[in-house]
Structures are given as C-alpha cells and as structure tokens.
Amino acid sequence: MSPSELQEEIRTVQIGSHRVGEGEPAFVIAEAGVNHDGSMGRALQMVDVAARGGADAVKFQLFSAKDLVTRRGPTAAYQLNATGDASQQAMLSRLELSDDACHQIRDRCKARSIMFLATPFGLFEVDRALSLGVDAIKIASTDLTHTALLERAVTTSLPIILSTGASTEAEIRDAVTHIQTLGGGDRLILLHCVSRYPTPISAINLRSVSVLHHMFGVPTGLSDHTTEVDVGALAVAAGAGVIEKHFTLDPGATGPDHAMSLSPTQLGGYIAAIRRVESAMGRNEIGLTPEEHDVRTTATRSVVAAKDIPIGSVLTADMLTIKRPGTGIPAGAIQELIGRRACAPIKIDTTITWAMVR
C-alpha cells in the first residue's frame, strides 16, 4: 500500500441514532446468527441477553436453505464436527426463521431498546429485511463477490456493513469500487474478518482494521470469531468503530456456531471491556487535562530565591534556583529574571512571582 492509496478523509456513517466512525463510540453488534437453533423462544431470549449485556444491536440471519445451497452442498469441517450434518442444506433448513418469528423478534428489540439488524443471504431476503425496518444491511463475507446482492443492498439507501473474511485484496477492492460506483460508498462500513471458526488469537491480525480504514476511507471494524473475551477491546484500541461478536445461550449446545460463541455472562464482560478501553482511548488531542492540575501545581518547578535578595538588587544567576511547587514563575523563564530589580525584599527559599520584580 503506497501513500497515494491512503484516504485522508475518513467518513462517518449514521446507523439509526448511532454515528459510526473515528472518534465515535464503538457500535457493538451482538451476533445471534443461527444460535437460536430455529426456536423463536430462544431467539427472543437472545434479544434480552444482548440488551442486558449492553449491545447496541442484535443481529439475526435471513435465508432460505433451498435457495442458498444445493442439495449436495457439504458442510464445512467445523459445522460437520458440531452438528454431524454432512448436508449443508439439511443443517440450515432447521435454522430458518419464519416471517412471524422475525416480526416478533423485531418487536422484542423495540421493547428492549436495542436495534434489530439482519444479514440477508439473498435478494428476496433484502426485501424481508426492509419489511422488518432494519437500520442497516449486513453482507456476510461469503457474499462479498455476490455482485447482485451488493447492488440490491445499495438500492435500499441504508448503511451497508460488509465483512471481508476469506477474500483477497483484489476482491475487496472490486467490491468497494462497485459499491462506490453505484453511489453507496458514503454508506459503507468494512469489517475485518477471519473466516475460521473459531479464529486463533494468533490469526486475528488486528492491524487489518487500520489498513482497511486508511485504504478505503470508510469506517471499519471487526467481525470477531475468536473465543477470547478481550479481542473486542483490543480491536477498539486498534481503531475499530464496529464490533460484531457471536453469542449463545449455551456454548455447549449442538449447532454450527455455539462452540465459538460467548455465553451471556461473557458477552456482558466483552462489551464492558470495550467501553473501558473506549474511555481510556480518550480524545484526539494533547495537552494539560483537568485531572493533572493538582500534580502540575505541586510537582512542577518555579524560580526560587537561592539567597536573601535585598530590595533594589539586580538579579543575577547565583541568586536564583529552581524548586517545587509550580506556583510561581515557571522554571523555563529563569533567564527572563536575570537583570531585573527586586522591588521588595525576597527571603531565601521564596517562590518568586512577577510582582516581586520590575
């Protein structure tokens, strides 16, 4: 990446009442995914858990198994190990959410004051997401090259959150360029993602968050597939403006994503750690803070009389020294005192002020 490729202006994107981008609080998405196991009751419980944990949004997945994958499409190794299903279509068919379930989930989100988001895995599912009143469209990593889906997402005029897992740099560039050409570039958020489930901490590569941020000039974040409870906080320190994290009611349940998801207690701790790091990150500025005034006054130094100085004396270097506290003339101004006259007697070890000299 050359300096000419860096984008100086990093935009912010509005998702509902949340502003996403540099200097803004991290937008935390609790990814329910398919960890409801096809049960509306469990899905509603997950909304409650996400809200209690402090997430800004809870996200579900919208798909039709028969439209998404062929009858012979195999499961990934981690899915086969978790479920025993060799057929991806058979596995996913048990994890679909009906329209009625989605409307009840959306209503529960409103009641719990948490944003409802969805990942549509097809063009029809984008329409379903719109009918549910989502505030943003999330595109999964596996659909980054699904041009028709990207185009449909742009036409919604909603913010687009696009994960970049299992994609080459060229594919990411092509997707971003295509979205920009269609007029959706100012609504785009990119999520760094490693499509391994779970992702080892050694493979998470958080520097990619910043690389995406500067390369494309859009807000960026992390879709976190590790099982670590501190990676979200580390990602915020690395510049992530959005964090997406899978959670489950029971990490030991049978299902493709439970084993790499956080428990309800872990989710709350994960989000709390993000907020602590946010607080520690502070503002993009340097200089004296209100919290430092006491130490500045007591521990910085001032010019002090090294001996008794009679009234009318011309100040010389040997009459002056530098000591705490910092309530008088700053140490760096000592040369400005030499050659001035004392307009009052100054006792040894007295902190000198400008009122004592002329």
Residue 2, pLDDT > 90, answer no
pLDDT at 3: 37
The 10s digit of each residue's pLDDT in 188-245 is 999 999 999 999 999 999 999 999 999 999 999 999 999 999 999 999 999 999 999 9
The 10s digit of each residue's pLDDT in 299-318 is 999 999 999 999 999 999 99
Under DSSP, the state recorded for 229 is: S
Residue 7, pLDDT > 50, answer no
What is the average per-residue pLDDT within 69-90?
94
CA-wise closest residue to 246 among 233, 260, 234, 232: 260
Query: Where does the pLDDT of residue 4 fall: very low under 50, low under 70, confident under 90, or very high at 90 and above?
Result: very low
Residue 292, pLDDT > 50, answer yes
CA distances from 289 to 90, 201, 296, 301, 309 (A): 60, 36, 10, 18, 36
CA-wise closest residue to 254 among 75, 82, 31: 82
Residue 6, pLDDT > 70, answer no
Residue 106, pLDDT > 60, answer yes
Question: What percentage of residues in the chain have a pLDDT greater than 70?
Answer: 97
| Rounded Cα distance, 28 and 279, in Å | 15
| pTM beyond 0.85 | yes
CA distances from 17 to 58, 89, 135, 236 (A): 15, 37, 9, 20
**Residues contacting residue 3 through CB under 8 Å, at least 6 positions apart:** none
Residue 36, pLDDT > 80, answer yes
Domains of the chain: 15-281 (3.20.20.70), 290-356 (3.90.1210.10)
What is the average per-residue pLDDT within 60-67?
97
**8 or 223, greater pLDDT:** 223
Chain-centroid distance of CA 177 in Å reads: 24
